[in-house]
Structure 1
Amino acid sequence: MAEQGRYRVLPGPEPDTLRLLDRTTCEPAVVSTGGSEDESGSDDAGSGAPIGDLRPGYLVDAALDWTTQRPTVESVSVVRPTLFAFADGVDPMFEAARETWQAARSEGEAMNTQVLRNTDNEVTGAVYVFAESGERGRLEEFREGARPLEPLLDRVAESRGEAPRAVFVLRPAGGGFTAVAITLRKDGQLAETMRDTYDCPRPDEPLVEGD
């Protein structure tokens, strides 16, 4: 019997896969996107759920069948079509992120945050910076769900309300830290600038109408 839950979509570890991060338990499940058989011999394309049209960052309600070795998505619906993008070795890192990181270092802190504003002083988003530590980098932790992005999104939602966002997880060429930029408007100028600057083109979104 399929179990219903709310999940954040993350990139999968292999081609034709995605991770679904449980919003309650923060446990990831790897699912096939269809077009190839999973380890259990089942094919998600046969479930009728449009798994292949999901994009990293989407918040979804999904019913998962756990009777197979790799869970099968029986049904899925998009709650909020936020988009995540990940880029490593970026050069240059945008100025606000560099400033925020320098402030963290000067204060001996491992993380810091700054509100992002446009030239008219309007708030357009927020940036968070995190020091790298350990063998696995912060960017990998965010991408794999080991360190969920949910608390950062929730913090923005508390002050700005719930809405689809664009989230950019970036690590500079020199390493040292990872920046998470959250734009208030998924289709706003800041989001488009980030996509162009860091070669993170917006994907097609068949499941989202009028977005």
Structure 2
Amino acid sequence: MENGGSYRVLVTNEADGFRLLNRETHEQIVTASEGHDAPISDLHPGYCIDADLDWTSTEPSIWSFSIQQPTLYSFVDHIDPVFEAAQQAWQNAQLTGDSMNSQVTRNTDNEVNGVLYVFAEDGRDGMFESFRDGSRPLDPLVDKVNEQEGDDPREVFVLRPESGAFVIVIIALEKGGQFADTLRETYDCPRPIESLA
């Protein structure tokens, strides 16, 4: 039996199977570790795909898919240093007693190049891990940016400072742009090789 739908790719660990987020129901689906009829090695965390799943086994396999949006998600823990805009946003949140804050980021020409969110960490493995495993979807943040900036591929970074006090979510507006490249270089987070993007 096949079940088609729109999914966000969350985790791509072929040994343990893929983790997908149903974009309509927000249900998490862990696929089989093998037996797929589609080239799943071409998928990366953050991709939005339309996929047909084969549910004839306990764990579904991916029968076929098409990439609708090759946005990339990256997760980096224990970052140091914390860049100034994120540190300032967190300090402002603390001053007002809020558990989150947001602001746009700008390049040296004062052009908007991204959107920054900071969230108070809820325990050492709380907020950061819930973003990574999809139990707290990043989609609402990304969708909000897309509504304002157009539905282009993005690069989304989830970063947790060494202190573990808060979590940073940065949505770089231009995939492969200078801002995204700078973040990848600063936090030793190379861009994956994308064969289908």
Q: TM-score, normalising length from structure 2?
A: 0.95
Distance 1:195 1:123 in 2: 18
Q: How many residues align?
A: 197
Deviating above 6 A after TM superposition, structure 1's stretches of 4 or more consecutive aligned residues are none
User: Cα 1:163–1:109, aligned 2, differ >3 Å: closer, same or farther?
Assistant: same
Per the TM alignment, residue 136 of structure 1 is displaced from its structure 2 partner at its CA by: 3.7
Q: What residue number does 2:31 align with?
A: 31
Distance 2:28 2:13 in 1: 11
Range with greater deviation from structure 2 (143-152 or 15-24): 15-24
Amino acid corresponding to residue 35 of structure 2 in structure 1: D
Per the TM alignment, residue 139 of structure 1 is displaced from its structure 2 partner at its CA by: 1.1
What are the within-5 Å matches in structure 2 for residues 1-211 of structure 1?
1-12=1-12, 15=15, 17-32=17-32, 38=33, 43-44=35-36, 47=37, 49-134=38-123, 136-208=125-197
Amino acid corresponding to residue 3 of structure 1 in structure 2: N
Q: TM-score, normalising length from structure 1?
A: 0.89
> Which SS does the other structure have where 2:31 is aligned?
strand
Amino acid corresponding to residue 24 of structure 1 in structure 2: E
User: Cα 1:193–1:20, aligned 2, differ >3 Å: closer, same or farther?
Assistant: same
Q: C-alpha offsets along residues 28-60 of structure 1, whole Å, 9 cap, x if unaligned?
A: 11124xxxxx4xxx622xx1x111110001000
Q: C-alpha offsets along residues 40-83 of structure 1, whole Å, 9 cap, x if unaligned?
A: xx622xx1x11111000100000111221211110011000000
Distance 2:166 2:117 in 1: 10
- Preserved contact between residue 12 and residue 30 of structure 1 (Cα < 8 Å): no
- Name the % identity: 54
Amino acid corresponding to residue 69 of structure 1 in structure 2: T
> Which SS does the other structure have where 2:195 is aligned?
coil
Distance 1:166 1:22 in 2: 20
Amino acid corresponding to residue 181 of structure 2 in structure 1: E
- Preserved contact between residue 48 and residue 71 of structure 2 (Cα < 8 Å): yes
Distance 2:13 2:163 in 1: 25
Amino acid corresponding to residue 171 of structure 1 in structure 2: R
Range with greater deviation from structure 2 (164-173 or 136-145): 136-145
Q: Give unpaired runs (5+ residues) of structure 1.
A: 33-37
Per the TM alignment, residue 114 of structure 1 is displaced from its structure 2 partner at its CA by: 0.8
Q: Give unpaired runs (5+ residues) of structure 2.
A: none
